[in-house]
Structure 1
Amino acid sequence: MKKTTATVADLGSFDDVIDARSPSEFVEDRIPGALSCPVLDDDQRAIVGTIYKQQSSFEAKRIGAAMVAENIARHLREQFQDKPRDWRPLVYCWRGGQRSGAFVTWLRMVGWDACQLEGGYKNWRRHVIAELERIPLTLSLRIVSGPTGSAKTRVLEALAQLGEQVLDLEDLAAHKGSVLGALPDRKQPTQKLFETQLYRTLAGFDAARPVYVEAESRKIGRIHLPEAMIRAMRAAPCVAIEATREARLDFLVRDYAYLGDDVALLQSRIDCLHGLQSNETIERWKALAAEHALPELFAELVDLHYDPLYRRSQNHNYVHFADARRIETDDLGPQGIAAVARQIVADS
């Protein structure tokens, strides 16, 4: 008799992974590539839970079973009608219990070799946490540092184009890392989903080759970096981009041009600096925002906020920052950024 359960280590042997949890659970985090096929939606889970608490376990199961059967039937009809006889899916729910078990039973009744993930999502989550403690310390990280406006993210992209291994934490976190760093077209993922995406990226690296990553603080927007990731980054060798102030300001105005489209939003982000800057300075910056005077605003932000913060944080947080290789440039346009990336690789 074929085995009907599988472990996290077996994930790669299945044709599809099916997430039987509710839509809200799926949005919070999921196994990469999983298909969302809830056996109970969020409203149905709430109904069944209320019946369980207020009436009885039997009533909850009786009503819930009908809902589960209807939902599984719909998924079979709408998503899996074209699957061949040898299709092999893996199904998981929160802890490998009734939701995924019911789904597997129906799939196996059809004739497919469906399996249930032992321990469900909770085991997947344990695996991610354990790997995020282990993998960062095995990698040969190279920290790309430089004050705000040094085009570090663009340099990482140029390094990737050269075939180098790159870890773009700000892309994974959907945030540029600064007080003005929220993106206009992307919401930040949940903490759990960020960690899953980070694990997936780290697991794909060749530990024998360097991995370039931008210097970051412990938080990127509302996302917290795992402790092992922080420790590995802060102990790694650094390369410092030293661009001229003019080149940095030109880059910032281009890179943050979208902030000029929503004055109220920009001013609200400036308000986040209360306590770090005087009320007079905050009001002056908000006035510059209202005037769409981004060059003048960024010049003051660089001189009064970002550069002093950078000098304190890099020397304090990164052990090898004082010994960093310095790459000077007065051009942070596409060609200048490409040249910086080539020099980083040549000096490695």
Structure 2
Amino acid sequence: MAAPIHVTAEPWLHTYSEIIDVRSPAEYAEDHWPGAINLPVLDDAERAEVGTLYKQVDPFTARKRGASLVAQNIARHLQTHFADKDRDYHPLIYCWRGGQRSASLALVLSKVGWQVTVLQGGYKTYRAWVRRQLQTLPQQFTYRVLCGPTGSGKTLLLHYLHQQGAQVLDLEELACHRGSLLGAEWGKPQPSQKSFESQLVQVFLKWDPAKPVWVEAESAKVGQLHLPPALWQGLTQADCIEVQLPLEERVKGLIAHYPHWIAHPQALKEKLLPLKARYGQARLQRWFELIDAQDWPQFVRELLLQHYDPTYQHGLQRNFNRIRARLELPDLSETTLKKAATYLLEGQFEVGLTGIPALQSPSPSLAWTLRLR
């Protein structure tokens, strides 16, 4: 006997054996419900073929061809993915709008006898929910923002804070970009804006609003991805800790963390070309000469002093001016970073000072300084 097909517009209130996205692989790759699997009833080429028939021939011919392709694909999924599912299996299925594609698979699975739920409105319902969450979720949290010039170890410090149990929002990891001109991850494209936002929602939902979220200062964009307005507002209004590191340690660390640019000097030059309008041909040529000479320490030193550091100071004054503590690191060794993470979590921003709440100073213009040795 066929089981009834359920429909829901609030699937996050229930649990399912599996969440199935029946859209094409390209649609799925752009964004999908985190954890959903892709069992397309039409692949990309088939979907394009049916769409062309609909526009250039007639809807009836398109539906007939589409039904044939959908039947073949569902049969293949039954013989493979669904072959070992027991009778208690109860999936959630969605397509773009909760229409024919999800209904097709739901009908067949219900005929087998499985309890099937279809997402009303499909992916568009999920996407609307993500947008609503991003308007409110970020406002529920208190942020501790790590500021500091490029190469000062902020990202590494976040990793050690995470190891010690802190709630850490690593925007650069989620965005697959280090947030600067040369910050693109080599060979790894950024996710779509929609996928980035889906990941953000899942991260926030796992956290406790009673605990602070540690995050690195970023601009309103990380690479090509925009931060949700509510999150950006929360970051720019948060108390900040400025991480400082000696210039030569920054140079050494950046050379170690960006080997792909050293291995691809021509690509590095092309990436620097947009800076010509700001600094002129002479300075750009100087940087190119250092690249050709493979004088990486001097190249990184000059790029920091002439471009990155002034840019950082401008962004700090404009967006992250609530500095409550400064953390001076001697190096980026594991010992130093572990110790720094411990101090930050315990709120020990000034040796010998006790009874002072974390991140509070006598005046907004003053900050405690901790020098690690």
- Answer yes or no: same fold by TM over 0.5: yes
Question: Could you tell me which amino acid in structure 2 is paired with residue 273 of structure 1?
Answer: L
280, 283, 286: which one aligns with 1:284: 286
Structure 2 residue 85 is matched with structure 1 residue 97: no
Structure 2 residue 62 is matched with structure 1 residue 67: no
TM-score by length of 1: 0.96
Question: Could you tell me which amino acid in structure 1 is paired with residue 245 of structure 2?
Answer: A
Question: What's the offset of the Cα at 1:258?
Answer: 2.8
Mapping 1:12-27, distance limit 5 Å: 12-27=14-29
Question: Could you tell me which amino acid in structure 2 is paired with residue 243 of structure 1?
Answer: L
Contact 1:146 1:152 (8 Å CA) reproduced:
yes
Contact 1:236 1:319 (8 Å CA) reproduced:
no
Structure 2 residue 122 is matched with structure 1 residue 120: yes
C-alpha distance 11-49 of structure 1, shift in aligned 2 (>3 A)? farther
Cα distance in structure 2, aligned partners of 1:47 and 1:81 = 29
Contact 1:179 1:272 (8 Å CA) reproduced:
no
C-alpha distance 223-48 of structure 1, shift in aligned 2 (>3 A)? same
SS in 2 for 1:4: strand
TM-score by length of 2: 0.90
SS in 1 for 2:276: coil
Mapping 1:36-75, distance limit 5 Å: 36-75=38-77
2:246 paired residue number: 244
Cα distance in structure 2, aligned partners of 1:129 and 1:96 = 19
Structure 2 residue 345 is matched with structure 1 residue 330: no
Contact 1:238 1:320 (8 Å CA) reproduced:
yes
2:352 paired residue number: none
Mapping 1:178-327, distance limit 5 Å: 178-321=180-323, 324-327=324-327
SS in 2 for 1:188: coil
Cα distance in structure 2, aligned partners of 1:60 and 1:249 = 61
Cα distance in structure 2, aligned partners of 1:71 and 1:11 = 30
Cα distance in structure 1, aligned partners of 2:206 and 2:317 = 31
Question: What's the offset of the Cα at 1:319?
Answer: 4.4
Cα distance in structure 1, aligned partners of 2:144 and 2:77 = 46
1:172 paired residue number: 174
SS in 1 for 2:218: coil
2:351 paired residue number: none
Question: What's the offset of the Cα at 1:285?
Answer: 1.1
Cα distance in structure 2, aligned partners of 1:96 and 1:272 = 45
Cα distance in structure 1, aligned partners of 2:59 and 2:13 = 33
1:151 paired residue number: 153
SS in 2 for 1:33: coil
Question: What's the offset of the Cα at 1:223?
Answer: 1.0
2:350 paired residue number: none
Query: Cα deviation per residue 1:78-106 (whole Å; 9 max; x = unaligned)?
Result: 11101111011111000100000001001
Moved over 3 A (4+): 8-12
Q: Provide the identity percentage.
A: 40
SS in 1 for 2:42: coil
Question: What's the offset of the Cα at 1:328?
Answer: 1.0
Cα distance in structure 1, aligned partners of 2:11 and 2:110 = 22
Cα distance in structure 2, aligned partners of 1:21 and 1:107 = 17
2:370 paired residue number: none
SS in 1 for 2:242: strand
1:7 paired residue number: 9
Question: Could you tell me which amino acid in structure 2 is paired with residue 299 of structure 1?
Answer: R
Question: What's the offset of the Cα at 1:11?
Answer: 6.1
Contact 2:5 2:110 (8 Å CA) reproduced:
no
Cα distance in structure 2, aligned partners of 1:200 and 1:70 = 35
SS in 1 for 2:278: coil
Cα distance in structure 2, aligned partners of 1:9 and 1:19 = 13
Question: Could you tell me which amino acid in structure 2 is paired with residue 292 of structure 1?
Answer: Q
Cα distance in structure 2, aligned partners of 1:77 and 1:287 = 62
Query: Cα deviation per residue 1:270-313 (whole Å; 9 max; x = unaligned)?
Result: 11322222211112112222222221111001100011111111
SS in 2 for 1:163: coil
Cα distance in structure 2, aligned partners of 1:339 and 1:287 = 40
Q: CA RMSD in A?
A: 1.4
Cα distance in structure 1, aligned partners of 2:294 and 2:205 = 44
Question: What's the offset of the Cα at 1:186?
Answer: 2.1
